[in-house]
Structure formats: structure tokens, C-alpha cells
Amino acid sequence: MSQRIKCIVSYDGSNFYGFQKQVDKRTVQGEIEKCLSIIQKEPTKIIASGRTDAAVHAYGQVFHFDTNLTIKEENWKKAINSLLPNDIYIKEVEIAPSDFHARYSVKKKEYRYYLTTAEYDPLRRNYTSFLKQEVDIDKMREALKHFEGTHDFSSFTPQDNKIKDKVRTIYETHLNVYDQDLEFIFIGNGFLQYQVRIMMGLIIEIGLGKKEINLIDYLFEHHERFKVEYTAPPQGLYLWKVYY
């Protein structure tokens, strides 16, 4: 009898061309499917909560797959991790209801973005975004709150994004300050391609005094992507948690 297996996975995105499988490219999906195909002795496809881009990390990405094997949850975890490269790790495995879907059952997603104004550190270059200038924290916090609510985010995704419905709801935002390190938290019902990085780009420019906060509300009404010139680097972005 077929079972649906749900996995929570973390990965260091530094050496991947993103999550989604691509021909002749190293991807997170490709590495996981390779391992599962060995265990199951047949081609195995996984379905994830969504994709992450090149160099973006995940603390709590979720995927599912189906199997005819009868293996305990803890043994699935051990078996998959024993074959995975050391920049991917399965944190949790559970047998899910047959109607569970890693993508379509999602209720909320949480992304976090890490930015520092500290001196450049090559040991952190793949895990945070460095900003060499001081920023206005109060303005950034105020700008962050403008993104909360239901809005058309057409200005915060590439113009060639073929998804027709670009309305999304952001339920919560937070900015935590740890000395020179800044942690931005976004929790919403879904996010468009590059959305968080483009929002962060504008927030950074507002913090530097290069843009005004009222531009955010203007862009919700007027879809003028070109007015956000800066997209924050991928290294600071983490898919933190998926809520079901």
C-alpha cells in the first residue's frame, strides 16, 4: 500500500543553482531525488512547498514523496541522510495523510533575511548580506510595516513573471536588531519569485535615505517595477518555515 512521506529539509544554498531540478545543474531537488531513487530502486519524484533560487538557503523547506516501502520514519531519515551531500540535511520525516500536498496544503510561509552593517567577513559572505553604510533602523522598520496586508505585488517580481494573480497577503513582519546584525521576518500566504529580495532592496534604499517610504504604497497601485532598481543579494535569504 502506498504511503505519502513528508520531510522537512534544511540546506546551504551556496553551491546550488536553486531548488528546482535542472538539466546539467546541481540542484537541491536533483540531489534528494537521486538518493530516494537509490533507496526505492526506481525513479522517485519529490514535490516541494515551492522553489528557492540559486544561493538562497532553507532552514525548514518541506517536500513529500510517495512510496510502497514500509520503513519507519526514523529509518527513512537515517537512510536519506546517509546518502545526501553534507550541504543538505533531512530534519524530520513523518508519514502524512494521503491528501497532504507539500505545495497545495500550505497555509503560510516564513522567510527571513539577514543583513549586517559590520565589517566584511569572508567567513559570512555566503550567509548574510553585507552593507558597508549605516542605515536608519526606524525608517526600515516603518517601511517593513507598509508591506503588511493584502496587496498586488506586481512591482516586486520580475516583469516577465507569467503568474497572472500577483496578489498576496503578508500577515506579519518583524525587524530584530542584534548589534550590527539585522533580521527581517516576513510571514505570508505565499511569495512571488524574487519578491522578498526586491522588497528588501527597497527597504535597504529607504534605510539609506535613497527612497521615500510612500513609494511602497505607490507601487502597490502603479505597477512600475523599474522604480525599484536594487534587488537584495540572495545570500541573506532563508526559507525559514512552512505552515500547514
What gap in Å lies between CA 193 and CA 170, rounded to an integer?
15
Helix ranges, 106-146 (H): 137-146
SS3 230: coil
Question: Which residues neighbour 31 within 8 Å (Cβ) at sequence distance 6 or greater?
Answer: 84, 85, 88
Q: Containing H/E element for 11?
A: strand 3-11
- Catalytic residue list: 53
221 backbone dihedrals φ, ψ, rounded to 5°: -90, -35
Q: Containing H/E element for 203?
A: helix 195-207
